Amino acid sequence: MHLAELLHDLLLRLKTRQPIALPPAEELTLQEAAQLLQVSPAELIRLSEEGSLPHHFTGSRQMVYREDLLAYQAQMNLSETEGDPDNESKPR
């Protein structure tokens, strides 16, 4: 299931007050997280080092929680939308 389908399902469940079951927190490697965001692992390392993306270590591997990654992605999408002049209402 793609992210858009998951979000659609989540919003539908919230709207109709259906229960939502959350799985336990899923840890992703930086490689997996980079693939989801379609960026390089080096970019994720930079983001985690500057504090923009929460991370932790499992042994020697740097990991991120899926929910933190999705929250970061949503924040970036919101920032892009707010800064997009084509997204603002235009007078007719």
Which domains can be identified in the chain, with CATH numbers? 24-82 (1.10.1660.10)
At residue 43, what is the residue type? E
Beta-strand relationship, 27-29 and 61-65: antiparallel
pLDDT digits (tens, 9 = 90+) for 7-66: 898 899 999 998 887 666 689 999 999 999 999 999 999 999 999 999 999 899 999 999
pLDDT score recorded for residue 88: 53
What's the pLDDT score for residue 41? 93
Q: What is the pTM of this model?
A: 0.59
Question: Quick one: residue 51, left, alpha or beta (phi over 0 = left, psi -120 to 50 = alpha)?
Answer: left
- Predicted confidence at residue 90, as pLDDT, reads 47
